[in-house]
Amino acid sequence: MKSQTSSQRAEKQPYIPPANQHGTVASSHKSASRLRASIEDLHECIAVRAYELYAQRGWREGGALKDWVDAEREILHRNVSSQALAKPPRDMES
């Protein structure tokens, strides 16, 4: 019987991701799922707003990209503005 090298033995062991900055792998999975959910929510908000812009243009074809970009700009600007309002200025933090 042929003996296994250390690299062959290592291949058979399951991959265990390293702990993230917060110390646990579980928290990195939670962060990733929260990020995925927020990206999906963002995508849905942009899609809804783009459809509203399409309706405002009278349902005319040919402006889908412009509607999407305009909706994206509005939604992202709104999110950045609301985050800025939620945080106190750095000089006021204690």
Reported as type and span, the H/E element at residue 46 is helix 25-56
What integer pLDDT is reported at residue 37 of this predicted model? 85
Give the residue, 63 or 94, on which the prediction is more confident.
Answer: 63
What integer pLDDT is reported at residue 8 of this predicted model? 54
Instruction: Using CB atoms within 10 Å of the CB of residue 17, give its burial: 0 to 12 exposed, 13 to 18 middle, 19+ buried.
Output: exposed
Is a pLDDT exceeding 60 seen at residue 20? no
What integer pLDDT is reported at residue 35 of this predicted model? 84
What integer pLDDT is reported at residue 19 of this predicted model? 55
Q: Which residues contact 71 (CB under 8 A, 6 or more apart)?
A: 46, 47, 49, 50, 52, 53
What integer pLDDT is reported at residue 7 of this predicted model? 53
Type of residue numbered 18: P
Is a pLDDT exceeding 90 seen at residue 54? yes
